[in-house]
Amino acid sequence: MAQESTGSEHSHQVRSSSVYLFMVGSYLQMSEGDMAVIKPEAMKSYIWLQTADGSIQQVEEEVAMFCPMIRQDILTGMGSSKNYTISLPRQVNPAIMSLILDYCRFHQVPGRSNKERKSFDEKFIRMDTKRLCELTSAADSLQLKSLVDLTSRVLARMIEGRTPEEIRETFHLPDDLTEEEKLEPLRNTADDPRIRRLNQLYARKRKELKQKDKLKNVEVEEDRVDERSVDDLLSFINGGDEDSKGVSAAKHKKKNHRRKDQSMDSSSINVNKNHMKSDILSSVCCNGDVNNALMQSLGKTSKVQDVANDTFAPEVEFDDGDIDDELDPAMKEELDREVEDFARILNSEWPERMQEILTSGQERRVVPMSMNGDDSLGRFTSANQAAWCLSVHAETLYQMRNNLRSAYSFRFFEKRLLLRTAVVTIQNAL
């Protein structure tokens, strides 16, 4: 052991030119120092290295000394023989080890120019990406800073200017971020004008969606209202408390009320209108005795209801086909006229009204025409009361129409009230 270490000291003194003389194996008498016949293998000193997988490798000492980590170990005496190898970190496998040794072997020679070193480096780093990363890791574990720097630059070149997809492809990175995560928190970096534009569009879209939602709610309610059958309408008129229930239960009636749908779904009503409607109607309905009277009367006359159903089915259909969203002036005039008519009708005497109804409807197969005739005073009074209520509310309706400016809602009200009127008429007839 001691001999060998002396031998290595001498090998340092004797420069490389002398060493190579001995490579041939010939013995030469050296005049320097006290060097007697020395075996060739000892002249050039070797260090024993062991990689993590157990394989042992011999390396020239000056090459190994280029690695700071190995150098430390050599200076403490390790690696001098097969039994005292220097263990390399696990990141260094034999293939990578040979690459690193090539690098060290070239660069440890002091006389090379910068140009030479650079051109060697350029050729050296030509390898596939996986190997490059392994090399980086190994060089870092051996504290070989210059090689880490070199490989880092190469890896940086592979990242610079590429799209994320390309980079992921190169390094087999998983694409495991959600779309939102990708955008934040760098979203507002004036990084990408496209992202900013996207955000603007998103914001706008969100706004539109919100508005649409609002409309949808209204429309849904409206549709719901639309899709009610005549039964529902009647119950709606007559049972003020059940308003909301009636409204919500009616969705499935779509098929039967095609024509209604066509006309009605183009208008835009908001929730408030509906509320107002139901409020007013419920107030109408809940006007005490009238309501009760009506209900009771209706309750008895289920048959009449059926008849009323048949009777009024056609009645329900107004020529709504020409109603559209915006009120054009012609429509407005028409509506105005209608309201006035309506008010007049309601405010007129009941008997006259009955006459009108009786004479106006060809479509009416009002069987209970026969029922017209004698009005008992009591009924007339209650009917009058009803009419009074209705007339009062006609004005409210008028105001509401002006506020709401919606053809549909007015029409609906009109329908409702006419229905109501008809109901009352029937009641009177009974």
Supply 336's token pair.
Answer: 């105005």
Cβ contacts of 269 within 8 Å, gap of 6 or more: 218, 219, 221, 222, 404, 406, 408, 409
Binding residue for other proteins, selected from 15, 115, 126, 172, defined by CB under 8 A: 172
Binding to other proteins, residues 297-356 (CB under 8 A): none
Residue 140 vs 265, nearer CB to other proteins: 140
φ, ψ at 9 (rounded to 5°): -60, -45
Binding residue for other proteins, selected from 53, 176, 319, 374, defined by CB under 8 A: 176
Check binding of 90 to other proteins (CB under 8 A): no
Binding part of the chain for other proteins, among 37-45, 76-84, 155-163, 406-414 by CB under 8 A, reads 155-163
Please tell me the distance from the alpha carbon of residue 69 to that of residue 144, in angstroms, as a whole number.
8
Residue 125 amino acid letter? I
Binding part of the chain for other proteins, among 27-35, 187-195, 238-246, 422-430 by CB under 8 A, reads 187-195
Residue 152 vs 268, nearer CB to other proteins: 152
Minimum distance of other proteins from residue 57's CB (angstroms): 24
Binding part of the chain for other proteins, among 183-191, 304-312, 332-340, 385-393 by CB under 8 A, reads 183-191
Beta bridge partners of 87: 50
Binding residue for other proteins, selected from 127, 186, 203, 369, defined by CB under 8 A: 186
Minimum distance of other proteins from residue 69's CB (angstroms): 14
Q: Is the dihedral of CA 224, 290, 346, 358 positive or negative?
A: positive
Check binding of 178 to other proteins (CB under 8 A): yes
φ, ψ at 189 (rounded to 5°): -65, 135
The count of residues interacting with other proteins (CB under 8 A) is 37
Residue 6 vs 137, nearer CB to other proteins: 137
Binding to other proteins, residues 204-243 (CB under 8 A): none
Binding to other proteins, residues 117-146 (CB under 8 A): 129-130, 133-134, 136-137, 140
Minimum distance of other proteins from residue 196's CB (angstroms): 10
Check binding of 193 to other proteins (CB under 8 A): yes
- Of 411, 3, 417, 23, the C-alpha closest to 226 is 411
Minimum distance of other proteins from residue 158's CB (angstroms): 9
Minimum distance of other proteins from residue 188's CB (angstroms): 7
Residue 53 vs 181, nearer CB to other proteins: 181
Binding residue for other proteins, selected from 23, 28, 95, 177, defined by CB under 8 A: 177
Check binding of 68 to other proteins (CB under 8 A): no
Check binding of 374 to other proteins (CB under 8 A): no
Angle ∠(276,279,283) on CA atoms, nearest 5: 140
φ, ψ at 55 (rounded to 5°): -75, 140
Supply 217's token pair.
Answer: 């709610």
- Of 295, 286, 304, 289, the C-alpha closest to 384 is 289
Please tell me the distance from the alpha carbon of residue 257 to that of residue 251, in angstroms, as a whole number.
11
Check binding of 155 to other proteins (CB under 8 A): yes
Binding part of the chain for other proteins, among 119-127, 176-184, 210-218, 359-367 by CB under 8 A, reads 176-184
Check binding of 69 to other proteins (CB under 8 A): no
Minimum distance of other proteins from residue 173's CB (angstroms): 4
Residue 138 vs 218, nearer CB to other proteins: 138
Residue 169 vs 340, nearer CB to other proteins: 169
Supply 278's token pair.
Answer: 């139901």
- Of 386, 376, 417, the C-alpha closest to 286 is 386
**Contact positions vs other proteins (CB under 8 A):** 129-130, 133-134, 136-137, 140, 148-149, 152-153, 155-156, 159-161, 164, 167-168, 171-178, 181-182, 185-186, 188-193
